[in-house]
């Protein structure tokens, strides 16, 4: 059938139809690769998916800790390079220090933070430290993301957000997002878990930055999403969400996925859907509906926007012993093929520490899971269309 020009243009503007999400439980797979890395803290796969960067931290009793950045050929299980770094600093609420590790999108640089006011920038090919970036630190860093375009990194310290240029080491933008006098972000962020940190996400083209703030502490309270233009000193958009927002991630275009940290319901299991908002209008446009297990706290989407990794569980609040207590069941990691709207892989969730959270490679083809001193790398299956 031949489309008239007006009809063809309408289809282009509408884009592809939203998939119908289906939560059929897949079988638990075996890892494709296992790399034994003693004292592993964090791991990040290179954008070309050939290498693995690993931050190793030793905390021996009675002596100062030591840290080392390593690069591995994960297919062969071979250590290729290593470089000593400043060890993480223990701070209140962060007994093992705060650490972050990211490749830039082109794979040229590694940005490594091990605490204090210095961010280390290393050349990925030989681990030569090309510069340090001095961060204007006034609180623990609780969110850290590298831009999908260019050599820029955003750090969040309570309600203070700063963007740094990794090539020059200069701060290029900053914003403040705590307009609520009764809300003290720092009080929420004393647990070293990504489940208790604000959401921070770059749009795929690098032209927008989103921050989520849980500014209502009441049971099942709401929060605010801030959208920033990296070239402006003002927020270009803010909108409210009905549940306490946690991790956020951009899908295709302006689609923003918003996970929640809202507490479980009383006496009945509370499983949360994963809503999708249009970041330009603030309107909810779709959602991934919860099944027996819902979405809570943390998620991430691969750079190509095809694969979603999300934490899931079932929670309920009871009066055990006459006091409030939270019962958690069926805790797991879910991997979704977004284009097909299908759940393709599940892993048991064995830890709530952010350093043990799985991560996705750029294409979403690999999932890396830190299991004690073994890094397990799973091949993510694609759903049948």
Alpha helix stretches (DSSP H) within the chain: 5-14, 185-188
Instruction: Give the total number of structural domains in the chain.
Output: 1
Greatest alpha-carbon span in the chain: 77
Lowest mean pLDDT segment, chosen from 23-27, 34-38, 320-324: 23-27
Tell me if 311 sits within 8 A of 43, measured CB to CB.
no
Lay out the sheet containing 223-228: strands in order across.
Answer: 199-202, 209-213, 223-228, 235-241
What is the rounded distance in angstroms from the CA atom of residue 247 to the CA atom of residue 198?
6
Tell me if 172 is assigned to some domain: yes
Tell me if 313 is assigned to some domain: yes
In eight-state DSSP terms, residue 22 is B
* Nearest C-alpha neighbor of 43 from the set 356, 363, 381: 356
Tell me if 317 is assigned to some domain: yes
In eight-state DSSP terms, residue 26 is P
- Residue, of 181 and 267, whose pLDDT is higher: 267
- Residue 123, both tokens: 């050349």
Instruction: Give residue 9's pLDDT.
Output: 38
Tell me if 10 is assigned to some domain: no
Instruction: Give residue 186's pLDDT.
Output: 37
Instruction: Give residue 13's pLDDT.
Output: 38
Helix (H, G, I), strand (E, B) or coil at 364: coil
Burial class for 293, CB neighbours closer than 10 Å (0-12, 13-18, 19+): buried
Q: How many CB atoms lie within 10 A of CB 10?
A: 11
* CA of residue 128 relative to chain centroid, distance: 27
What lies within 8 Å, CB to CB, of 187 at 6+ separation is none
**CA end-to-end distance (rounded Å), the chain:** 24
What is the rounded distance in angstroms from the CA atom of residue 383 to the CA atom of residue 299?
19
Q: Write phi, then psi, for 237 (nearest 5 degrees).
A: -160, 140
β-pair type (78-85, 100-103): unpaired
Domain that holds residue 362: 18-379
The overall pTM is greater than 0.95: no
- Residue 328, both tokens: 């958690």
Give residue 179's region: left, alpha or beta (phi > 0; psi -120 to 50).
alpha
Q: How many CB atoms lie within 10 A of CB 113?
A: 25
Tell me if 13 is assigned to some domain: no
Q: What is the pLDDT of residues 285-303, one digit of tens each?
A: 999 999 989 998 899 999 9
What lies within 8 Å, CB to CB, of 12 at 6+ separation is none
Tell me if 119 is assigned to some domain: yes
* Nearest C-alpha neighbor of 345 from the set 36, 75, 18, 31: 31
The number of CA neighbours under 13 Å toward the Cβ of 162 is: 21
Lay out the sheet containing 143-146: strands in order across.
Answer: 143-146, 152-157, 160-165, 171-176
Tell me if 302 is assigned to some domain: yes
> Is it the case that residue 253 has pLDDT exceeding 90?
yes
Please name every residue paired with 122 in a beta bridge, in sequence order, or none if there are none.
Answer: 110, 129
* Nearest C-alpha neighbor of 77 from the set 114, 97, 100, 51: 51
Residue with tokens 């075996």: 30
What is the rounded distance in angstroms from the CA atom of residue 4 to the CA atom of residue 2?
7
> Is it the case that residue 254 has pLDDT exceeding 50?
yes
In eight-state DSSP terms, residue 14 is H
Q: How far is CA 45 from CA 39, 73, 159, 289, in A?
A: 18, 10, 29, 30
CATH number assigned to the domain comprising residue 330? 2.130.10.10
- Residue, of 310 and 235, whose pLDDT is higher: 310
What is the mean predicted confidence (pLDDT) over 81-94? 75
Lowest mean pLDDT segment, chosen from 125-134, 177-186, 265-274: 177-186
pLDDT band at 61 (very low <50, low <70, confident <90, very high): confident
Tell me if 7 is assigned to some domain: no
The Cα angle at residue 373 between residues 371 and 376, in degrees rounded to 5: 45
Most confident of 136-145, 178-187, 362-371: 362-371
């Amino acid at each position: 059938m031949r489309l008239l020009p007006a009809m063809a243009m309408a289809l282009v503007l509408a884009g592809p139809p939203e998939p119908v999400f289906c939560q059929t439980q897949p079988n638990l797979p075996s890892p494709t690769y296992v790399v034994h890395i003693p004292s592993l803290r964090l791991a990040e796969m290179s954008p070309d998916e050939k290498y693995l960067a690993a931050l190793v931290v030793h905390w021996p009793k009675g002596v100062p800790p030591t840290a080392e950045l390593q690069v591995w050929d994960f297919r062969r299980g071979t250590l290729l390079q290593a470089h000593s770094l400043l060890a993480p600093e223990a701070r209140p609420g962060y007994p093992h220090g705060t650490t972050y590790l990211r490749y830039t999108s082109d794979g040229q640089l590694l940005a490594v933070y091990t605490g204090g006011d210095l961010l280390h920038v290393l050349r990925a090919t030989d681990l030569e430290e090309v510069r340090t970036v001095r961060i204007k630190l006034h609180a623990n860093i609780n969110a850290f993301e590298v831009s999908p375009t260019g050599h820029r990194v955003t750090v969040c310290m309570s309600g203070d957000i700063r963007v740094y240029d990794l090539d020059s080491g200069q701060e290029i933008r900053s914003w403040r997002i705590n307009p609520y006098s009764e809300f003290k972000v720092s009080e929420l962020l004393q647990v070293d878990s990504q489940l208790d940190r604000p959401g921070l996400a770059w749009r795929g083209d690098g032209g927008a930055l989103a921050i989520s703030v849980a500014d209502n502490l009441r049971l099942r309270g709401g929060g605010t999403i801030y959208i920033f233009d990296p070239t402006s000193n003002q927020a270009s958009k803010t909108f409210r969400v009905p549940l306490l927002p946690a991790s956020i991630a951009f899908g295709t275009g302006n689609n923003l996925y918003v996970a929640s940290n809202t507490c479980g319901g009383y006496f009945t299991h509370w499983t949360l859907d994963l809503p999708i908002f249009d970041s330009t209008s603030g309107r909810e446009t779709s959602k991934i509906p919860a099944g027996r297990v819902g979405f809570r706290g943390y998620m991430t989407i691969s750079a190509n926007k095809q694969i979603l990794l999300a934490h899931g569980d079932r929670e309920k609040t009871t009066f055990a012993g006459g006091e409030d207590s939270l019962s958690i069941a069926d805790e797991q990691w879910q991997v979704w093929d977004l284009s097909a709207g299908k759940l393709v892989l599940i892993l048991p969730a064995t830890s709530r520490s952010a350093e043990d959270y799985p991560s996705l490679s750029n294409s979403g083809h690999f999932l890396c899971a830190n299991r004690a001193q073994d890094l397990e790398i799973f091949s993510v299956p694609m759903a049948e269309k």
